């Protein structure tokens, strides 16, 4: 009978039923209630566990048209190195790095601007807004 007792059954027990149970059974019920509480608490802790960090980066050559990007890397450094590799020009530089977010690079006739956002759309809108008239998004990245 003890193996079949769960938290829902414990909640339905009334005082009259408790009075008819012997002390051994009461001890088992108390232990089952404590174990059920810990089991429910462990599940709640797992649900709130923060996600692992994922890094991304965008690199570009300010005087040219080359760019590169990386996403879902373990460190900011790894993301930057990959973005620079993809960019391919010896004068490429990292425009922006992100952690668990999105980034976009907008380029225009006079300037380039990189911005972060919680979504691709937000990052692109911010980059275009900061870059100004005549700009277009040339690169974006989002991490997990």
User: What is the tens place of the pLDDT at every residue in 102-111?
Assistant: 999 999 998 9
Domain extents in the chain = 2-47, 55-142
Task: Please list the ranges in the chain whose pLDDT falls under 50.
Answer: 1-5, 7, 10, 18, 44-45
Give me the pLDDT at residue 5, please.
47
Give me the pLDDT at residue 63, please.
86
Pair 51, 99: CB distance under 8 Å: no
For residue 110, give both structure tokens.
């006079």
Give me the pLDDT at residue 113, please.
96
Which residues make Cβ contacts (< 8 Å) with residue 46, sequence separation at least 6? none
């Amino acid at each position: 009978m003890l193996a079949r007792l769960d938290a829902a059954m414990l909640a339905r027990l009334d005082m009259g039923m408790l009075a008819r149970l012997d002390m051994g059974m009461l001890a088992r019920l108390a232990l089952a209630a404590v174990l059920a509480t810990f089991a429910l608490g462990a599940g709640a802790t797992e649900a709130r566990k923060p996600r692992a960090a994922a890094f991304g980066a965008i690199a570009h050559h300010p005087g040219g048209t080359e760019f590169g990007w990386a996403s879902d890397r373990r460190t900011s450094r790894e993301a930057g190195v990959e973005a620079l590799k993809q960019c391919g020009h010896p004068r490429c530089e990292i425009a922006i790095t992100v952690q668990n977010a999105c980034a976009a690079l907008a380029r225009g006739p006079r300037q380039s601007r990189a911005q972060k956002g919680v979504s691709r759309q937000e990052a692109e809108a911010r980059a275009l807004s900061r870059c100004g008239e005549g700009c277009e998004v040339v690169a974006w990245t989002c991490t997990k």
